[in-house]
Structure 1
Amino acid sequence: MDRFIIISGCSGGGKSTLLEELARRGFSVIEEPGRRIVAAELAGDGKALPRVDAEAFLHKAIALSLEDLERASTLPGPVFFDRGLLDAASGLAEMTGEPVLQRFAELWRFNEAVFLTPPWPEIYRQDAERQHGLDAAIVEYERLLRDYPALGYEVVELPKAPVAERANFVLRRIEGANLTS
C-alpha cells in the first residue's frame, strides 16, 4: 500500500525517535516489532531473545508484523512503520536461506520509498533491548541496503539531522504521493 511507509535502517540510528515525532504530529505509527518482542521476552522466559534464539525471534517478528499490517489496514491516512515485516523476513532469509523475503514482499507491498537511517556512531547506544554492538548494526544496515532495492524499493537515506528536520524531510518526500490505496 502506498500509504504504508517504512522507516528502517541502522539499529540505533534514530528510527524510534523519528517515529515518535511523526506520531506527535498526528500520524499513525506502528512500533518496532523487535523491541516489543524483546520487552515481552525479558519479562517472560526469554527463549526468543535474538541472542538466545535468533530464528525464533525472527519468526515472532514476522507474526507480529503481519498482525500489525492487518491492524494498520483500518487506520486512515499514511501509516509509518518502525521496521516490520520485510526487515524480519530479510533477517530470516539471511540466516536460514529460506525464500521468505520474496514471499512476504509479494504478499505485502509498501510505499516505494523506504527511508533508512544510516549508521550514526555519535548517537548509537546499547540498552536492555539493544544488546548488539554498532558493528552488528552496520552489517544489518548493509543487508537492508541490498535487500530493499532488490525488491524494487527506492532507498532514501535519512540525513543525520535533528529529529524535526528528519520528520520534515520524510513528509516533504511523500508530499503529493497518492497515499489512499
Structure 2
Amino acid sequence: MVEEPGRRIIAAETAVGGTALPWIDLAAFLRRAIGIAIADHAAAAAHDGWTFLDRGLVDAAAALQALTGDEVLRPLATAHRYHRRMFMAPPWPEIYVTDDDRRHGFDAAVAEYQRLTTTYPALGYDVVLLPKISTAARADFVLAALAERKGRDIANRR
C-alpha cells in the first residue's frame, strides 16, 4: 500500500515551511503530486504482485487540469497506465473527517469524486465502487474482485 502523495507533500512542505500546500498554492501542490505519483507508479511496476496506491496520477492530473485548464491529463495518463481495474471509495459522510492535512469539506470531496467517476472511465479504466462496509470487509471485497479478474484473464489466455 502506497500512501497518497498529498499527505507526503504536506508533511514535507510543512517541515521546511514550504508553500506547495493545497491551501496556499494548489497548482504547485498538484504538480508535486503528479511527480510523486509518476515515481510511485515506476516503483510499483518494478515489483511483482499487486500494489495499491491511495490516490495517484489521474487524480492529481485531473485536478490540475480542472484548476488551470492546461491539457495535462490525457498525455500523462497515456504515458503512465495503471491496471485497467480501479477501485474507488465513494464519499461516506459517516466516516469523513477533516484534519490538519485534509482541510476541504465533504462537499469538495463529493465534487472531486464526481469528476473522477467520469474521468477514469473516459481514460479506459473499469471503475469498481467500494461498498460502504467495514475496512476488513472492503479489503476482502477488493481481493475477491482481483481474484475473479485474474481467473478471467487466465481463462482468456487458453
Q: Which has the higher contact order (CA 8 A, sep 6+)?
A: 1
Partner of 2:103: 131
Q: Distance in 2 between matches of 1:98 and 1:61?
A: 16
Q: CA deviation at 1:88?
A: 0.5
Q: Which has the higher helix share?
A: 2
2:59 counterpart of 1:84 = no
One-letter code aligned to 1:146 = T
Quick check: 1:120 aligned with 2:92?
yes
Displacement over 6 Å in runs of 4+: none
Q: Structure 2 length normalisation: TM-score?
A: 0.91
Structure 1 vs Structure 2 CA RMSD: 1.4
Report the identity percentage.
50
Task: Return the structure number with greater strand share.
Answer: 1
TM-score, scaled relative to structure 1:
0.80
What is aligned with 2:128? 156
Query: If you compute each CA radius of gyration, which structure gives the higher value, 1 or 2?
Result: 2
Distance in 2 (alpha carbons) for counterparts of 1:157 and 1:141: 11
Which of these residues, 23, 32, 39, is aligned with residue 4 of structure 2?
32
> Given residue 64 of structure 1, which amino acid in structure 2 is its aligned partner?
I
Unmatched 5+ stretches in structure 1:
1-28
Structure 1 residue 147 and structure 2 residue 119: aligned?
yes
What are the ranges of 5 or more consecutive residues in structure 2 without an aligned counterpart? none
The Cα shift of 1:152 comes to 1.0
1:79 shift after superposition:
0.9
Structure 1 residue 107 and structure 2 residue 73: aligned? Answer: no
**Are 1:71 and 2:43 counterparts?**
yes
